[in-house]
């Protein structure tokens, strides 16, 4: 069975959770490699809604094993409440790498203080401490799961790290110091709760791969939030690309056979930073879903910015990820439109640029709308001709087949192009 990495091709919130949920039916192993509880997926099964931040959504299928990789950053309180909310036994179902780094209260504090200090230039982070935690990891000031679950090591690391963190809080932001004793007490207890789930995830996946079992790599955020290739500095702090799936899980790149790129049928973004096809004013108010709960971020509840589909952007992210197949989500949102605009070019440029994106002039092609509901569509054949044409345009521009289409949040509203 082929192993697949599912990654977001825009700025996150493409509906990866739903795609993962669908593929999880076939996968034995589901691996989350990067990011933390900044991510969020909502899965609807029957009339129950599940919210995921760090645990792969495939945990809802009873036979799957889910892994949280060394490349992630874990806020233990948040992870434990996500585990509790599932109300299922996670014994031998959920495995956490000892190499993952821990988000501490001072990371969340520093995230908020840094954002406030940046003023107009704020990134618009989720405030979950993700950036400061990854910064500490790279600066070798981090504390990992391996230390969290061992009282002695946790104490040693906190003693080594906290004086510097408190200096940072005081000197940069005039903030009170945090108490090492309080943090130790709270986190040692959290560590003991997580300890039964800590496992040699990297080896387990290596063995699974050798046995020919399917691994599903669940990407978080989107390609343009990648810390290296995203719209820097308006990015998250991890590698959100398919390459990050292998690096973050501690498996070689040869463990990934297919890269399924997930693209919303239009574009959205939460947080700040350039967005060439963004709609505003009257244009935005005419856009079908601009004011509904479906365009609100799962993690922070912030309204998503909305714009037309951007094929220049998608070509770029298909290349960054080596996308082999595409999933187009939320096609139904475009149902009522007479005409749909698609950006095919940036004036004067022949590629997605590394700087100056805020000044870009997008050039659009106008495609006919289908003006009929697709919400009940369950196969390619049932899709209105104009909707098929829309999908064809994406395929032609990217030279990559669209394999999966979704027309609603429910499990049954996603269908494969071919059986
Ligand atoms: P951080 O990851 O909290 O540091 O936020 C950095 C940027 O990434 C902000 O613009 C966030 O809104 C964005 N971001 C982080 N996680 C997600 C996600 O899961 N979906 C969409 N945007 C995200």
Q: Which residues are the active-site residues?
A: 13, 41
Q: Which two tokens stand for residue 286?
A: 């005419």
Check residue 121 and give its pLDDT.
93
* Model pLDDT, residue 78: 97
Q: From the alpha carbon of 40, which atom of ligand 1 is closest?
A: 19
Q: What is the pLDDT of residue 290?
A: 63
Residue 61 phi/psi, 5° resolution? Answer: -90, 125
- The DSSP bridge partners found for residue 147 are none
Q: Name the burial class of residue 167, with classes exposed (0-12), middle (13-18) and buried (19+) by CB atoms within 10 angstroms of its CB.
A: exposed
123 lines ligand 1 (CB under 6 A): yes
Q: State residue 101 phi and psi, 5-degree precision.
A: -90, 155
**Euclidean distance between CA atoms 271 and 273, whole angstroms:** 7
Which of 123, 230, 236 is the best mutation target for the ligand 1 pocket, counting ligand atoms within 8 Å of the beta carbon and taking the most? 236
- pLDDT for position 419: 63
Fold of 262-416: Adenylosuccinate Synthetase; Chain A, domain 3 (3.90.170)
pLDDT at 294: 65
Residue among 225, 264, 297, 298 to mutate when testing ligand 1 (max atoms within 8 A of CB): 225
Instruction: Average the pLDDT over 121-132 and give the result.
Output: 96
| Ligand 1 pocket residue status of 13, Cβ below 6 Å | yes
| Rounded distance between C-alpha atoms, residue 136 and residue 133, angstroms | 5
Q: What is the per-residue pLDDT for 385?
A: 97
- Cβ contacts of residue 118 below 8 Å, gap of 6+? none
Residues sharing a CB contact under 8 Å with residue 324, sequence separation 6 or more, in sequence order:
258, 259, 260, 400
Q: Which residue has the higher pLDDT, 299 or 218?
A: 218
User: What's the pLDDT at 387?
Assistant: 98
Residue 152 binned pLDDT confidence (cut-offs 50, 70, 90): very high
Q: In the chain, pLDDT over 90 holds for what percent of residues?
A: 87
Q: Which of the four pLDDT bands, split at 50, 70 and 90, describes residue 63?
A: very high
Does 125 sit in the ligand 1 pocket, CB within 6 Å? yes
Closest-CA residue, ligand 1 atom 15, reads: 38
Q: Is 23 in the pocket of ligand 1 (CB under 6 A)?
A: no
Mean residue pLDDT of the chain comes to 95
Query: Is ligand 1 within 6 A of the CB of residue 39?
Result: yes
Residue 299 predicted with pLDDT over 90: no
Tell me what pLDDT residue 291 has: 61
Ligand 1 nearest-atom number relative to CA 302: 12
* pLDDT of the residue at 69: 98
User: Which ligand 1 atom sits closest to the C-alpha of 35?
Assistant: 2
Residue with CA at minimum distance from ligand 1 atom 11: 125
DSSP lists the bridge partners of residue 41 as 52
Residue 71 Cβ inside 6 Å of ligand 1? The answer reads no
From CA 366, how far away is CA 387, in angstroms rounded? 13
Q: Tell me: the pLDDT tens digits for 380-397?
A: 999 999 999 999 999 999
Taking residues 200-220, report their average pLDDT.
96
Q: Is 12 in the pocket of ligand 1 (CB under 6 A)?
A: yes
Query: What is the structure's pLDDT at 410?
Result: 85
CA 263, 265, 266, 270 dihedral sign is negative
Question: Which atom, in ligand 1's list, is nearest to the CA of 270?
Answer: 12
Min mean pLDDT across 13-22, 63-72, 267-276 is at 13-22
What is the Cα gyration radius of the chain? 21
pTM over 0.85: yes
Taking CA atoms only, the protein residue closest to ligand 1 atom 1 is 125
- Burial of 230 (C-beta count, 10 Å sphere; 0-12/13-18/19+): buried
Give yes or no for residue 32 CB within 6 A of ligand 1.
Answer: no
Q: How confident is the model at residue 293, as a pLDDT?
A: 54
Q: Counting Cβ atoms within 10 Å, is residue 317 exposed (0-12), middle (13-18) or buried (19+)?
A: buried
DSSP SS3 for 326: strand
Q: How far is the CA of 97 from the centre of ligand 1 (A)?
A: 23
Stretch 91-106: mean pLDDT, rounded? 98
What residues does each domain of the chain span?
262-416
Instruction: Give the pLDDT score at 151.
Output: 92
Which residue CA neighbors atom 10 of ligand 1 most closely?
Answer: 271
Measured in Å, residue 149 CA sits from the centre of ligand 1 at 28
Does 271 contact ligand 1 (Cβ within 6 A)?
Answer: yes
Give the whole-angstrom CA distance, residue 404 versus residue 361. 31
Regarding the beta carbon of 240 and ligand 1, being less than 6 Å apart is answered no
Distance CA 411, CA 86 (A): 18
Residue 169: other Cβ atoms inside 10 A: 18
38 pLDDT higher than 60: yes
> Could you read off the pLDDT of 263-296 as tens digits, one per residue?
999 999 999 999 999 999 999 998 986 666 567 7
- DSSP states along 76-134: HHHHHHHHHHH-S--TTTEEE-TTPEEPPHHHHHHHHHHHHHHGGG-----SSSHHHHH
| H or E segment to which residue 184 belongs | helix 180-194
Best substitution site from 51, 134, 221, 240 to test ligand 1's pocket, by max atoms within 8 Å of Cβ?
221
The verdict on whether omega for the bond into residue 312 sits within 30 degrees of 0, i.e. cis, is no
Helix (H) or strand (E) holding 248: helix 242-249
52-91: burial string, b at 16+ Cβ within 10 Å, e else: bbbbbbbbbeeebbbbbbbbbbbbbeebeebbeeeeeeee
Mean pLDDT of 214-228: 97
Report whether pLDDT(303) > 80: yes
Question: What would the pLDDT profile of 73-87 be if each residue is shown by its tens digit?
Answer: 999 999 999 999 998
């Amino acid at each position: 069975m082929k192993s697949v990495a599912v990654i977001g091709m825009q700025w996150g919130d493409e509906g990866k959770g739903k795609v993962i949920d669908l593929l999880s039916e076939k996968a034995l192993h589901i691996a989350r490699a990067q990011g933390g509880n900044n991510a969020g997926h909502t899965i609807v099964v029957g009339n129950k809604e599940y919210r995921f931040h760090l645990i792969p959504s495939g945990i809802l299928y009873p036979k799957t094993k889910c892994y949280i990789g060394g490349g992630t950053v874990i806020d233990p309180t948040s992870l434990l409440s996500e585990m509790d909310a599932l109300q299922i036994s996670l014994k031998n179902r959920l495995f956490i790498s000892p190499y993952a780094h821990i988000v501490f209260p001072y990371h969340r504090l520093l995230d908020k203080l840094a954002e406030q200090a940046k003023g107009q230039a704020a990134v618009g982070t989720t405030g979950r401490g993700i950036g400061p935690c990854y910064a500490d990891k790279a600066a070798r000031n981090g504390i990992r799961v391996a230390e969290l679950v061992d009282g002695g090591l946790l104490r040693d690391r906190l003693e080594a790290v906290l004086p510097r963190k408190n200096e940072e809080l005081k000197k940069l932001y005039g903030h009170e110091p945090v108490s090492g004793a309080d943090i130790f007490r709270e986190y040692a207890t959290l560590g003991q709760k997580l300890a039964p789930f800590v496992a040699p995830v990297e080896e387990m996946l290596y063995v699974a791969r050798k046995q020919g079992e399917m691994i599903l790599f669940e990407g978080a955020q989107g390609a343009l939030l990648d810390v290296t290739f995203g719209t820097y500095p308006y990015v998250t702090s991890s590698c959100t690309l398919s390459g990050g799936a292998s690096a973050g899980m501690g498996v070689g790149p040869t463990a990934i056979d297919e890269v399924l790129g997930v693209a919303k049928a239009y574009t959205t973004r939460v947080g700040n930073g350039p967005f060439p096809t963004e709609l505003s004013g009257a244009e935005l108010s005419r856009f079908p879903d601009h004011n509904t709960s479906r365009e609100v971020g799962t993690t922070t509840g912030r309204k998503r910015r909305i714009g037309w589909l951007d094929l220049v952007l998608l070509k770029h992210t298909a290349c960054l990820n080596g996308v082999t197949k595409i999933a187009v989500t939320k096609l139904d949102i475009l149902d009522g439109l007479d005409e749909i605009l698609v950006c095919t070019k940036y004036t004067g440029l022949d590629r997605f640029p590394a700087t100056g994106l805020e000044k870009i002039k997008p050039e659009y092609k106008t495609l006919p709308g289908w003006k009929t509901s697709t919400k009940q569509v369950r196969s390619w054949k049932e899709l209105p001709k104009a909707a098929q044409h829309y999908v064809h345009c994406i395929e032609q521009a990217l030279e990559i087949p669209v394999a999966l289409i979704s027309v609603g949040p429910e499990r049954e509203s996603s269908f494969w192009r071919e059986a």
